[in-house]
Amino acid sequence: MRLLLLTGSAFGIGLLLTLGWVFHGPTLTGALEIGVLPILCASAYRPFSLALYTWSWRFLIPAAGRPRFLTLWRLRWIGEAINSLIPAAQIGGDLTRAQLLAARGPGGAAAGAAMVADVAVGTFTQALFGIAGLEALAAIGSGVQGRLGKLILVGSLVTLAGGVALLGLLRAGGGEFLLARLPIARRLGTRGKALTDGVASLDAAMKRLARRPRALAAAGIWHLLGWFSQVVETWGVLALCGARVSWSAALAIESLSAAARAAAFFVPGGLGVQEGALFYLCRHLGVPPEPALALGLVKRLREIVVGLPGLVAWAIAERAPLNRLRARLRAFWSRRCADA
């Protein structure tokens, strides 16, 4: 995993340096002179998209022990900050928010099942979003056709199949079956028993969630709304940078660049991949080079502006359970000393 992350980081940095080298001079200077307004607007808009994704996640968490919406929104924010700013192969944030959720009421099995379902719903709806972007390209009649269009379609279908497979995993469980066949599990003794029990609990929670099709459907609708809400950001940033495009063009740019970033999952934060895809799509849709480069820059700076406070919130959230544990230990030793 470390080698994969190092390779992905080197690949992403190489792409960024290549873009900087190719477009150094007036084009890059013009992109850098965008001012702070597009960055501030994109950063102020992002919490709205996060709220839609949070509402989708909320449907997948059992009502018993479910935290309030603002708490879930904060955990979602933390997860996005980790995926965007920390080399974690774009999945570390999901694991972290599941861990933080488990400490706040639903328990580890329910939180893990909700995370798996949320990733499955996100993958499935992103494939639909990518297909919508491809349809938008076809309607515009841009030059991004032929071989590349087929490649995008194949990628979207593979993503769709991945989402279906994850939903199938949710319904079938299977973790306990696979763990039982790992030789190392039998050598762990009592720890292996605890691990097996934990996986069995997670399987049971996933199967219970799979028996709630209305919750899964509602989560899918809200997650798809979240994807489409990002089109507004792309359209607005380009307009503020002096390049007004149609909603169809903004849909194509946002959906297909997001698909490229997801495909390059091994590149932390999609570094370089996102910027390259945005510039390529913008160029073929008639957007001048300066606003196209500026769009990638604004999106990256928005991630930093929104993500850095999210990392601070993560540090505070991780400290709270430790403080509760210390308080319990102090209370325990106080009772022991009083009994003595």
pLDDT tens column, 46-103: 999 999 999 999 999 988 888 999 999 999 999 999 988 886 656 678 888 888 888 8
CA distance 159 to 162: 5
Q: Where are the domains of the chain?
A: 2-339
DSSP letters along 289-317, please? HHHHHHHHHHHHHHHHHHHHHHHHHHHHH
The three-state secondary structure class of 1 is coil
pLDDT-based confidence at 306, cuts 50/70/90?
very high
Token readout for 289 is 């080079």
CB count within 10 Å of CB 270 equals: 27
Q: What is the pTM of this model?
A: 0.81
CA distance 153 to 132: 10
Report which DSSP code applies to 143: S
CA distance 257 to 262: 9
DSSP letters along 54-96, please? HHHHHTTS-STTPPPHHHHHHHHHHHHHHHHHSSSTTTHHHHH
pLDDT tens column, 16-39: 677 767 666 666 666 667 778 999
